[in-house]
């Protein structure tokens, strides 16, 4: 079923009119009267609609519901700035895999960090990547892409989750599985380092902030692989598939 994202307030009535890019997209799809499609507000609500007219595109709302493709667990992916294309890769894949949000932040060994001037443009681009991946993967919610100003602010925000985890290659005792087995978590933060890894000092800082430090196994994962591996495993542990 075709899927369109609109502003939340547009889902309130009995009728929805597609405009702007959505109208364009509807034209490309050659929608016909009587066809059914999904209109999502991008924050977890969606309406099953039937096309009444095609020019302009007027839709009758058949059913309003919570999105059926959103994970029950809210997983926030915290990633230290990697080189640009890797962050884009992670945003796309983490969105497909059901991440609630993606949060980028600086850390000591970050090679790449957008300057304040270019940040606004980059954030727009990143948010578009998330929107496009959400549409393609059939999600009802577009994960927000956030940028935090410091490592400390990332720790502080991440620590608010029921389960706040940092992955570190020199941790060997605590596995992700041990960390997840306690259960009872509805929100999870997964924090990973940049290309050069996290500094010992940063790991200590994370512990102090309340994060649990875990291993992702004995193989060294690239910085763009680690968050997606952890996210996949957490979704599996949460019973998503």
Q: Is 98 in the site for a copy of itself (CB under 8 A)?
A: yes
Q: How far apart are CA 194 and CA 197, in angstroms?
A: 5
Q: How many residues bind a copy of itself (CB under 8 A)?
A: 35
Q: Which of 45, 86, 139, 157 binds a copy of itself (CB under 8 A)?
A: 139
Q: Is 190 in the site for a copy of itself (CB under 8 A)?
A: no
For the chain, first and last CA: distance in Å? 22
Measured CA distances, 188 to 71, 102, 104, 178, 230 (Å): 12, 12, 16, 14, 11
Q: Is 219 in the site for a copy of itself (CB under 8 A)?
A: yes
Q: Beta-carbon neighbour count of residue 217 at 10 Å? A: 13
Q: Who contacts 211 (Cβ-Cβ below 8 Å, separation ≥6)?
A: 155, 158, 159, 164, 165, 166, 189, 191
CB of 35 to a copy of itself, least distance (A): 20
Part in contact with a copy of itself (CB under 8 A); list of ranges 9-17, 74-82, 93-101, 122-130: 93-101
CB of 60 to a copy of itself, least distance (A): 25
The two tokens of residue 49 are: 């609609």
Q: Is 196 in the site for a copy of itself (CB under 8 A)?
A: no
Is 130 in contact with 139 (CB distance < 8 Å)?
Answer: no
Q: Which of 5, 82, 215, 223 binds a copy of itself (CB under 8 A)?
A: 215
Interface contacts to a copy of itself, rule CB under 8 A: 68-69, 71, 93, 96-98, 136-139, 175-177, 214-222, 225, 228-230, 232-233, 235-237, 239-241
């Amino acid at each position: 079923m075709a899927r369109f994202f609109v502003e939340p307030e547009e889902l309130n009535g009995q009728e929805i009119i597609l405009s702007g890019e959505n109208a364009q997209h509807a034209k490309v799809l050659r929608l016909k009267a009587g066809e059914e499609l999904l209109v999502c507000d991008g924050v977890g609500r969606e309406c099953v609609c039937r096309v009444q007219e095609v020019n302009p595109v007027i839709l009758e709302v058949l059913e309003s519901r919570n999105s059926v493709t959103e994970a029950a667990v809210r997983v926030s992916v915290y990633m230290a700035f990697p080189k640009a294309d890797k962050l884009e890769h992670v945003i796309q894949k983490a969105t497909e895999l059901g991440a609630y949000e993606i949060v980028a932040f600086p850390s000591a060994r970050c090679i790449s960090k957008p300057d304040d001037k270019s940040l606004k443009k980059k954030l727009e681009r990143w948010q578009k990547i998330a929107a496009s991946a959400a549409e393609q993967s059939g999600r009802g919610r577009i994960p927000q892409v956030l940028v935090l100003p410091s490592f400390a602010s990332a720790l502080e925000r991440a620590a608010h989750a029921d389960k706040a985890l940092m992955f570190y290659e020199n941790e060997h005792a605590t596995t992700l599985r041990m960390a997840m087995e306690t259960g009872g978590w509805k929100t999870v933060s997964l924090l990973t380092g940049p290309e050069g890894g996290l500094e010992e000092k940063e790991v200590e800082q994370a512990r102090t902030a309340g994060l649990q430090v875990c291993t992702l196994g004995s193989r060294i994962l690239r910085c763009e692989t680690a968050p997606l591996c952890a996210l996949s495993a957490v979704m599996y542990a949460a019973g998503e598939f």
